[in-house]
Structure formats: structure tokens, C-alpha cells
Amino acid sequence: MQYKDLDIIQNSSYYSIAENILEEPQITFIFAAVEEYITEMTNNNLNIHENDIIDFYEGFLNKANEFYEEFLFGLNKFENFKTLEKIEIIYLFLKDDLPNWVYEETEYRNDKFLDNEDSNSDEPYDVSKIDIINKQFEVASLYRKYKLENELDLSPDYQRNFVWTSKQKSRLIESILIGIPLPTFYIDARNEDKWIIIDGVQRITSILTFMDNRFKLNNMQYLKYLNGKKFETLDRKYRRRIEDFQLLCNIVRPNTPSKIAFNIFQRINTLGTHLEVQEMRNAMFRGESTLLLKKLARSKEFLALIPEKRREGYKKRMEDHAIILRYLSFKITHYKDYSKNDMNAFLENTMETINQMNEIEIKSLENTFLECMRKAKYLFDHDAFCKPAKGKIGNPISKALFESIGYALDQYSLEEIKQNKTELNRKIHELYHDSDFILMTSIATNNPPKVHYRFDAFINLFEDIIGH
């Protein structure tokens, strides 16, 4: 470890943060480990601000201290270690790379440990491992899973806003009361502790929220005398009909690999209002990536570039997430390394990569994106990342322009953009009207040569004007 002379840790400008969080006996080895970890992570050309560093110290100090107090405090093997050895263990905890003896001698478990225990890495996408069962559940059983056990997710990140009207919800309840079978539900049960409704979320949400007394029946077609009733005010015989009603469910079980499950959900997504591809991605790759996309899509910096009249449409179909994901993908993977004409797989790989990132790497991505949006807002007076419109209504954001202009903006400071704003705007709009450029950014835009072309076009344009 770095701290051969442990007295030097008190000279750190962040030591006072540790003094406010840690007790004296453990301050030396916990702070030293956190200092080592943060120093290592922030030396990788990450875009991290001073206030981020302070937040990371507070977060990692608390996280490491909780780990120590719950699993290592009083453990003879750890207590007998020398200080440098204790620092090493806390450091490896932060790196998510603990030695096996910690798992063997404590009850600590993490996702990496569980993955190693359960993984079948030899054939991760073997279709013979698809594990789907058909099962019936009483409504009361699913309500218990939802309400009492918190094991049923009705609002996963990929689902659009709940939009059923009170009439639609009431007619569904009426169908149950008069015994009309409902279409099959599809449930992602690969995480046994949190089931996700993949197909049928509107229906199941209507049923369970009615049982929660969150709306009254109205516009009933046959059982008109029940209009105005909540679940709790229904006669017992009607409540029993709802509770005992059987829902037919297809359960995708844990052994089914993620990418095969994604394909399954694409195949069943054929009735009703279709899920967009990004909604499917968010269903299959939930984690740090979906949290980051949601945060960036709600940021004031991004929203400032979206005309107000378009915001709801972008949000409803997760078009905003898809646009941002494209930008992040080419931040993580150089555009020259995009070599296969498979944008969907490229974006899926990005989500998987972000899900494996640590907090510092994710914060760096967030900072870079927000800075890029601020530069774009300054550069473009209006219609940022949009192709020229012929009418009064502007065009929507072009994903191809968003990712490629965004990449070019990232190479320069805000001050450089300010100094060259007029010329940059002029040249960009000239490029928009170039016949070759129009062709290369309008048809088959995910083809690798066309991707490389537009990135090179904007990189060269910015270099010619700014001078480097």
C-alpha cells in the first residue's frame, strides 16, 4: 500500500471528513483505504469535480465503516492484522475484490459473490437453458406479493407512465366480477426477490390498486349498481370474486440468460401498445445504467435543449433515454471501434458496462454529459442537434447529430466554444445542407462507415475552426 508512514494520512485535506464520521480506533485504516481507492480511481482522466470528491469521501467512508462494524468488528482474524493489512482488506472491499476468507468467515455477500456461485459461464446464451413455466395465481396471492412482501414491481424503469382511464380500469374489474378470463401475463422472475411485470402491467396495476382502494368504479356496463364503490365498500361476495380470480401467467425463471430473455420479451411484445426498443433494454439491463439514464433525462441541462412541446413524447416512449444512451455509448467505446452494423447490441453492451462501473466512473460520465449539454445550449440558439426544418415546427433531435456533435463538443472547453460560436454555427449549417452529408446521415445511419463519416465530419469541422 501507499501509506508506509501512516502519519501522512493526517496531512490529507480530506482527513477532517473522516474525523466527523469515524471513531478513533478505525479512522487510520478506513480513511487510508478510502484515500487510496479514491486517489486511484480519480487518476484515470475522469471528469470529477471537487464537490464530487467530497461527496465520494463521505459516501465511501460511511460505506466502509458500515462494512467494518457489521462484518469485521470483533473478528479475531481481522483484529490481529497489522494496520497495513487492515487497510488492504477495506481497500479490496471498495474494489469489490475481497479474498475468499471474508466470505467464509463472515455472512457478507455481494452480487459478485452470488454471480460466481450461480453462474453457468460456459454456455451463457444456450437456448436450451430457457426456463419458462405456465402458472395460475389467485389475485390475492399477487396482491400479497405486491403489498405485504414488496416482491412485485409495478413500475420498473422501462414502463411508460400509467395511462389507463378510470373507465378502462373499472371495465377490467367488471370483467373479473362477471368471470371473463383475462389475457396471459408475462412476468420476469429471474430475480426471485423482485418479480417484474413485462406484459400486462396496466391490467395488474388496475387490479391491485383497486384492492388498495385507490379509485372508485364508474361507467360499469352491466353491474351499474356498483358505480361509486371502492374495494372496501363492495359486498364480501364481490371482494371474494376478485381475490379468488385466477390470473394465467408465464413466468420467466432465473436460469434464462438475459439476452435470451430480451429476445423472448421482444417476441411477446406483439399485442396492444408496443414497447419501444429502449423500453425493452431498460427492462433487461436494470441497474446503474437505467438509474443514470433516468437522472440525465431529467436534468435541467438536457431538458433545456428539448422544446417543451416535445418533452412529454420523448419521456413517454423513452426516446430521451435512447438519445442519451447513444451519446454515452460513444463516450465509452471509441467511434472507430464501432465495426458491426448492430447498434442494438452496441447499446446493450454499453448498459452492461455501466452496470459494472463504480460510483466515481459513473459520476464522471454524468459530469461530462452535463457539461456537453451546457456547451450545446450556448452554441445553438435553438434546435440543437436538429436537422433544418422547412416549416414552422422544428424537427426532433437527430440521434446521429446528438452523438457526433456531442463527441466533438467534448473535445473543447466552454470558453473555446464561446469564442468560436458564430463560425461554428455557420459551418455546421453549411454542412447540414451538403448533399453528401444529408445522404450519409439520413439513410442506414447505423452502418459503420456512415457512423465514422459523421463523427469525422464534425471533428474536422471543429478542428478547422478552433485550431486544434
pLDDT band at 121 (very low <50, low <70, confident <90, very high): very low
The whole-number pLDDT of residue 116 equals 46
**Displacement of CA 289 from its chain's centroid (Å):** 3
Q: Are 348 and 326 in contact (CB under 8 A)?
A: no
pLDDT at 285 over 50: yes
From the list 402, 417, 416, the residue with the least C-alpha distance to 454 is 402
Question: Over the stretch 130-152, which tens digit does the pLDDT of each residue have?
Answer: 778 889 999 999 999 998 888 88
pLDDT at 444: 82
The number of angstroms, rounded, from the C-alpha of 158 to the middle of its chain's C-alpha atoms is 9
What is the Cα–Cα distance from 220 to 234, expressed in whole angstroms?
A: 14
**What was the pLDDT predicted at 253?**
84
Of the candidates 434, 432, 385, which has an alpha carbon nearest to the alpha carbon of residue 409?
385
CA distance from start to end of the chain: 40
For residues 384 and 367, the model is more confident at 367
Per-chain mean pLDDT for the chain: 85
Reduced to 3 states (helix: H, G, I; strand: E, B; else coil), residue 206 is: helix
What does the radius of gyration of the chain's CA atoms come to, in whole angstroms? 27
Is there a contact between 388 and 368 (Cβ–Cβ < 8 Å)? no
CB contact set of 119 (below 8 Å; sequence gap of 6+): none
- Mean pLDDT check: name the lowest of 59-68, 193-202, 205-214, 293-302: 193-202
CA distance linking residue 252 with residue 30, whole number of Å: 42
- Taking residues 231-240, what's their average pLDDT? 96
Joined together, the cell numbers standing for residue 328 give 454515452
For the chain, percent of residues with pLDDT exceeding 70: 86
DSSP 363-407: HHHHHHHHHHHHHHHHH-SSSTTBPPPSSSSPPPBPHHHHHHHHH
DSSP state of 48: -
Question: For 164-194, what is each residue's pLDDT tens digit?
Answer: 889 999 999 999 999 998 988 888 888 888 8
Kindly report, residue by residue over 50-107, the tens digit of the pLDDT: 899 999 999 999 999 999 988 998 888 998 998 889 999 999 999 888 998 888 888 8
Strands 195-199, 152-153: parallel, antiparallel or unpaired by DSSP? parallel
pLDDT at 105: 86
pLDDT single digits (tens) 414-460: 999 999 999 999 999 999 988 888 888 888 889 999 999 999 999 99
Instruction: Note the pLDDT of residue 272.
Output: 44
Instruction: Decide: 21 and 61 in contact? Cβ < 8 Å.
Output: yes
Quick check: helix, strand or coil at residue 249? strand
Q: For position 11, what pLDDT does the model report?
A: 67
Burial class of residue 98 in the structure, from the number of CB atoms within 10 Å of its CB (0-12 exposed, 13-18 middle, 19+ buried): buried
**pLDDT of the residue at 119:** 40
- Asked if residues 256 and 130 have their Cβ atoms less than 8 Å apart, the reply is yes
pTM (predicted TM-score):
0.68
